[in-house]
Amino acid sequence: MSSGSPPAAIAVIRVSGPDAGLALTRLGGSVPPARTAKVRTLRDPDSGDVLDRALVLFLPGPDNATGEDCAELHLHGGRAVIAAVEQALAAIAGLRRAEPGEFTRRAFSNGRLDLAEAEGLADLLSAETELQRRNAQALASGALSGQVEAWRIELLSLAAMVEADLDFSDEDDVADLPPAFMARCLALANEIGQWLQAPRAEVLKEGYRVTIAGPPNAGKSSLFNAIIGEDAAIATPIAGTTRDILLRSVSISGVPFLFSDTAGIRDDTSDQIERIGIERARRELAQADLVLWLGPDDDAPASAWNLETMVDLPLHRSKLNPRHRVSAVTGEGLLELRHDLVSHALQAMPQPGQVAVSRHQGELLGEAETAIAEAAMASDSLIVAEQLRVARVTFDRLTGRAATEDMLDALFGKFCIGK
């Protein structure tokens, strides 16, 4: 079943493989014309009992989602109807339940999409914000794949020049590598480098990581709750209430954030559990994209935003030049803080139309960039040829031409059943 959880208005069951048409014949009596929705009365092949009156489609391969014959049954979405049809299908020899992501994996195996497009589809299914959707849609539509293929074609052209130099260098009609060879290699490496300088996909998937930090009783948990809009953290006047890292993913104006509330940082505690919480807080500071600092100005980490909090209290801690003055109780300054956070986070995220590569995609592109740059500088044609081969292999790994089964299992295992 490729539709949502029942009960629902409609449930869609998909069948893919050489006997997809047989499944329609056994349940509905005949195979409808290709790509034409027809109403059929579905019956149990053994008992003849009516299972449902449904719309059915036959989508012959290879010009469809999986590249092989497919059938779709659009049922009424009650649990009993779905269970009866699934049981009838399972009784047909040769049919079995699909594994998670098997439809998409068959599309990959049959050349309907490459690995980068499949990864984009996985991101699209998990997208929760407009920014995430745009980037995933670009990947799934082949934006990265098309660019990698263009680089690969240029790489093959360069490799052909080197092979000619190696194979026929003793013949009069083939000269040594021309001066333009190095320039083309460097231009290709620089173009890949520009993609590597762009924001990565992880900041979109995981959210822009903002850590709220400071000494005990600085108002961290109260501010954390006010920003995310829920009472997730326990806020009390008792010092050391927060002992561990509290994480919340939220979307503000369509921008994904990951906020963390941390233990109060101080050096004079004898509480062993609190000391562990403080160490975890320091580690969280190190991996944050941005720190909102609620403590003394002189103790603020580098690049942190200094915030003056609890401004509704007459005796609150004043700061010389805070970036924002806020109150988690009255809401003063919170709207301005949120707007500032959104503007700041957007600068670290891909711009509209820009494709963000993932960490492992970036690692592969980095390997290709290094190999091509080294090929440009090498004087031995054998070394040049080897570096260009290394670059081509990394391109093939990125698009799936040289993907390992373990990697494919890990990717397609993230998909739901029916996708």
Q: Which residue has the higher pLDDT, 403 or 249?
A: 249
For residue 354, what are the CA distances in angstroms to 136, 152, 195, 364? Answer: 11, 20, 9, 19
Tell me: the pLDDT tens digits for 290-301? Answer: 999 999 988 889
Tell me the three state secondary structure of residue 8: strand
Q: Do the beta carbons of residue 13 and residue 21 sit within 8 Å? A: no
Q: Element (H or E) spanning 306, and its range?
A: strand 305-308
Tell me: the pLDDT tens digits for 29-47? Answer: 999 999 999 999 999 999 9
Q: Do the beta carbons of residue 308 and residue 325 sit within 8 Å? A: yes
Cα separation, 356 vs 199, whole angstroms:
6
Burial bucket for residue 142 (CB in 10 Å: 0-12, 13-18, 19+) = middle
The identity of residue 357, as a single letter, is V
pLDDT at 243 (0 to 100)? 52
pLDDT at 172 (0 to 100)? 45
The identity of residue 116, as a single letter, is A
Residue whose structure tokens are 């709750």 = 225
* DSSP label at residue 275: H
The distance in angstroms from the start CA to the end CA of the chain is 9
Residue whose structure tokens are 């103790």 = 299
Give strand pairing partners of 257. Answer: 208, 250
pLDDT at 270 (0 to 100)? 62
Phi, psi (degrees; rounded to nearest 5) at 235? -115, 115
pLDDT at 131 (0 to 100)? 80
Question: Which of 127, 59, 49, 129 lies closest to 88 in space, CA to CA?
Answer: 49
Q: Max alpha carbon distance in the chain (Å)?
A: 90
